[in-house]
Amino acid sequence: MGMKATWPIVGVVITAAIAVNCGKGGGGNPLSPGAVEPTQASLQAPYQNRSDVSAIRAGFSATANAPWGVEHWGLTLYTVGDGRRFVAAAAGTVGSLRLWQNGAFWQVNFDLNLADGSQLTYGFFTGSGDRADGDAQLAAMVVVNAQRVAAGDPVGSLRTPNADARLEFTVMVNNKGVCPERYLATDVKDAMVGLLRLAYPGANMCY
């Protein structure tokens, strides 16, 4: 089933076919035969400390029929303050790291390319149109393109020039954002659902 998916929280437009079973409360089709995907229940948290995250304010949703009210292809993490550190959720190689202006706002993105061919994407969104804030976010990154990292290695800190600053974390399978639930280690999944329910009591991670 194909659909045009808009990720308005980041301002990125992705055209994708949803190809994952999102579990309880989730929609979508099973992954196609031969799909490249991370090992189930293997991914660690993208944050260094759970206490650094104030809430997850959007999960994965193939349609706007979700508590956060929009189509959304990843998890949106807000921090309790400036400079909170994020880490690699799996071993991989950093690619496509760049500072760019997404509409009016500056952000730093990179892909973490896993050995199996799947990807994790990180988007450090400043919520600011000031280039100096974008430069500050780029300077807060501690990885470079082509660098190999292990799970848990620091990748950068989120600068928060305003209340809109956040991290977007996406699991990509065959170049499509998918429900991350099945790939997260059980304790990580439980912790992240708990953070999501701080914003949306009773919500599921995926819809």
Distance CA 174, CA 125 (A): 24
Summarize pLDDT for 72-100 with one digit per residue, the tens: 999 999 999 999 999 999 999 999 999 99
Confidence band of 39 (pLDDT split at 50, 70, 90)? confident
| 179 in any annotated domain | yes
In whole angstroms, what is the distance from residue 107 CA to residue 71 CA?
A: 20
Number of domains in the chain: 1
pLDDT at 10: 38
The CATH number that applies at residue 95 is 2.70.70.10
Residue 29 DSSP label: P
Q: How far is CA 133 from CA 83, 121, 169, in A?
A: 13, 21, 20
Q: pLDDT digits over 126-174, tens only?
A: 999 999 999 999 999 999 999 999 999 999 999 999 999 999 999 999 9
Residue 15 domain flag: no
In a domain? residue 6: no
Q: Is 171 a member of any domain?
A: yes
The band of 40, judged by pLDDT with boundaries at 50, 70 and 90, is confident
Helix (H) or strand (E) holding 145: none
| Residue 23 included in any domain | no
A 10 A CB-CB count for 63 gives 13
Q: Give the pLDDT mean for 111-123.
A: 96
Residue 181 lies in a domain: yes
Query: What is the rounded distance in angstroms from the CA atom of residue 11 to the CA atom of residue 135?
Result: 19
Decide if 22 is inside a domain: no
Tell me which residue range forms the domain holding 172: 34-58+74-199
pTM given for the model: 0.83
